[in-house]
């Protein structure tokens, strides 16, 4: 679970800040089908679990102890790529980047970020172990 996720939210999720702080580079842990919420205008897609491999955020200081709190390096989180077909053409362990942050359908609730994006792409330079680098998957509104 992400630590200090409140730094990325204020009424609306600060998705671009999150992407910047994490370098928009993640390791794919798993993927599962997302059925969408047609009644709310959210198309089906794929929910991915990703591991953060870089954290350049400002340190968080514990008010009680004055000590620096742990950052999000190697933490995992879920993100949903809307408008894409399951399964994605990526493998467990691939390095990916998220595209087209969907602020209007992302939110923060009970200390959790619900993050939605319109695309995901393979980070070709970081993926020498798999063939077919450079795959981009972008959602399409139906």
State pLDDT tens for residues 43-60. 999 999 999 999 999 898
> What φ, ψ does residue 19 adopt, rounded to 5°?
-60, -40
Q: 33-42, 119-128, 133-142: which has the minimum mean pLDDT? A: 133-142
Is residue 75 helix, strand or coil?
Answer: coil
Report the C-alpha gap between 19 and 58 in whole angstroms: 14
Give the predicted TM-score (pTM) of the model. Answer: 0.82
Let me know if domain 5-138 sits in CATH 2.40.50. Answer: yes
Q: How confident is the model at residue 109, as a pLDDT?
A: 84
pLDDT, mean over the chain: 88
């Amino acid at each position: 679970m992400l630590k200090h996720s409140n730094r990325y939210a204020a009424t609306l999720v600060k998705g671009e800040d999150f992407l910047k702080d994490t370098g928009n580079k993640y390791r794919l842990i798993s993927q599962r089908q997302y059925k969408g919420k047609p009644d709310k205008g959210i198309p089906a897609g794929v929910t991915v679990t990703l591991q953060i491999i870089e954290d350049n955020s400002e340190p968080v200081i514990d008010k009680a102890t004055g000590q620096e709190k742990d950052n999000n390096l190697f933490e995992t989180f879920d993100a949903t790529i809307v408008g894409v077909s399951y399964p994605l053409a990526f493998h467990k362990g691939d390095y990916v980047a998220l595209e087209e942050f969907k602020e209007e359908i992302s939110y923060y609730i009970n200390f959790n970020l619900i993050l939605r994006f319109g695309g995901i792409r393979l980070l070709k330079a970081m993926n020498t172990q798999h063939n077919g680098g450079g795959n981009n998957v972008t959602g399409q509104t139906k």
